[in-house]
Amino acid sequence: MHDGQNVFHSKEAFAGYSWKIIPLIKQPPDLPQVIVVGIDNAEANRLDEYTPWPINDHHFKNLGGHGFAYSDWVVNTVKPFIDQTYRTRSNCQNTLLAGFF
């Protein structure tokens, strides 16, 4: 999950309140077991890493443009690490990206 500092614990969350993902995924009794991976953002550079192209607006100078590098890191570093380290179903039907943007 993007913005991973918000996923598990309120004291680590940006606004002081977590998304409480673990209790949420435990609620439906028929939900299969899942692995949740929280990827912290770059704080002040959050929009840089989430935006693939630089934003050309006078309100947002020098913002954005690192999104492709971020997605490449998630796909080619994080996902393979999770698949090699944990027992996963690595196909696209069993993989999900999530976050709040």
Residue in this structure with the two tokens 């976050």, named with its chain if needed: 99
Q: Which residues of 15-49 are buried (b: 16+ CB within 10 A; e: fewer)?
A: eeebbebeeeeeeeeeeeeeeeebbebeeeebbbb
The pTM of this model reads 0.81
Using CA atoms of 53, 39, 45, 58 in order, give the dihedral in degrees to the nearest 10.
Answer: 40
User: What's residue 69's pLDDT?
Assistant: 94
Q: How far is CA 37 from CA 55, 66, 96, in A?
A: 29, 21, 10
**What are the 10-residue block averages of pLDDT along the chain, 101 residues in total?**
88 86 84 89 86 86 89 96 96 89 56
43 residue type, one letter: E
The DSSP element (H or E) to which 47 belongs, if any, is helix 46-50
- Which residues are 2's β-sheet partners? 39
Residue in this structure with the two tokens 């940006």, named with its chain if needed: 14
